Structure 1
Amino acid sequence: MTTRSGAPMPKELQHWMRAKQHPARSVDCPHCKAVARRPCTTPSKRRQLELPHPQRVSAWAQAFACCPDCQVTPEVPCHDEGRARTTVHARRYQEAEATAA
């Protein structure tokens, strides 16, 4: 995710930009393979100083929060009526952020 001028950042993510590091850095990134506590990297292996990849944030939410939508426990992937999702539900992100705060 890159920050471009004129493209406002979602308010729920702005507070993480001011923080030292996003809590999602506590897990490995499935997208760029960055290890825990290390920043995500670009395809040219340069450090990505902004937010972690969305896949990493999803992995973090899955690892640490229960999902209010599909009622799964941490570590269990979200689903929609029995069909597996590639990401977690938005409310699971909120749950993870609430536990990290």
Structure 2
Amino acid sequence: MSEDLAGRCTVVLDLDGVRDKAGLMDRVARALALPDWFGRNWDALADSLSDHTVWPAGAVERGLLIVVRGWQPYAEARPGEWRTAQDVLGEAVDRTAALAVVLALGGSS
């Protein structure tokens, strides 16, 4: 089975240089332009990914594709946190048909 990702609103989540959860949350908040009240914790991330009111303009109608790149050093430095991040992202995708998340392989440049 394949999913057509063409036409979705695409957001690049660049994790190059991120070494901890705080850095990850800052990058997510910046990439998705989350509101100031974003709590920067796993529950807040899950809620934000499922909350269409905080998605970029046009993403609700077209769908949202988050491309995560530069994630490998973070995954190696903090494997437990990375597993939790993957769980949160995966659960959000499972709950929200309009959301897709892909992990880019290779360098972040």
Higher helix share: 2
Q: TM-score, normalised by structure 2?
A: 0.24
Higher strand share: 2
Taking CA–CA contacts closer than 8 Å with sequence separation of 6 or more, which of the two structures ends up with the larger relative contact order?
2
Larger CA Rg, structure 1 vs 2? 1
Q: TM-score, normalised by structure 1?
A: 0.25
